[in-house]
Amino acid sequence: MWPFSTMTLAAASFWNSAANLGLLGSAILLFLATFVLWQTADRKEELWDADKADANLKIAELNKEAANAKLETERLRLRFAWRTMDKDQRSRISSKLKKYSGQRFEIVTYTSDIEAANFGAKIHEALRDAGWIYVKIASWQTVG
C-alpha cells in the first residue's frame, strides 16, 4: 500500500488526524447542505403555490376578457352581417304577395354595395315567385 507502508508514525498520525478532520468537516457540510435543501424546498413550494394562485387569477381574468371579446365579436357580427332570406322566408313572402300578381317592380342598389345587391337578388326571387313583373332600369344619370 504505497505510500502508507513507508510512513513514519508521526506522518501516519498527521494524515490520520487530517482525514478525521476532513471527515468531520464533510459531515458538518453534509448536515448544513441537508438543512439548506430542506429549508429552500419548503420556501420554493410556498413560492410555487403563490405563483400558481397568481396564475389562476390571471387565467380567470383572461378567460373573462376572452368571453367579453367573444360576445362583442358576436354582437358586431350580427350588427354587420349581410341580410339574408332563406327559402322558407322567400316562400312565405311570395305566398302573401301572390294576390298582387302582375305588379311591376324594380330594384335599385348602389353598384358598389355587394351586400345590398345580394339581398336585392333575394327580394327579386321572392317577387318573381309571386308573379310580379321585373322592370329593368335603362340607365342612371348623375346630376352635377
What interhelical angle do 87-97 and 114-129 show, nearest 10? 50
- Alpha-carbon distance of 62 to 54, in angstroms, equals 12
Per the DSSP assignment, residues forming a β-bridge with 134 are 105
Give the number of other CB atoms < 10 A from CB of residue 132. 19
pLDDT, mean of residues 106-135: 90
Position 32 scores a pLDDT of: 95
DSSP letter, residue 81: S
Let me know how long the chain is. Answer: 144
pTM of the model: 0.48
Query: How far lies 83's CA from each of 11, 48, 88, 89, in Å?
Result: 103, 53, 15, 12
Position 1 scores a pLDDT of: 59
Q: pLDDT tens-digit profile of 80-96?
A: 888 889 999 999 999 99
Q: pLDDT tens-digit profile of 2-48?
A: 677 888 899 889 999 999 999 999 999 999 999 999 889 989 999 99
pLDDT, mean of residues 117-134: 93
- Alpha-carbon distance of 94 to 129, in angstroms, equals 6
Burial of residue 129 (number of CB atoms within 10 Å: 0-12, 13-18, 19+): middle
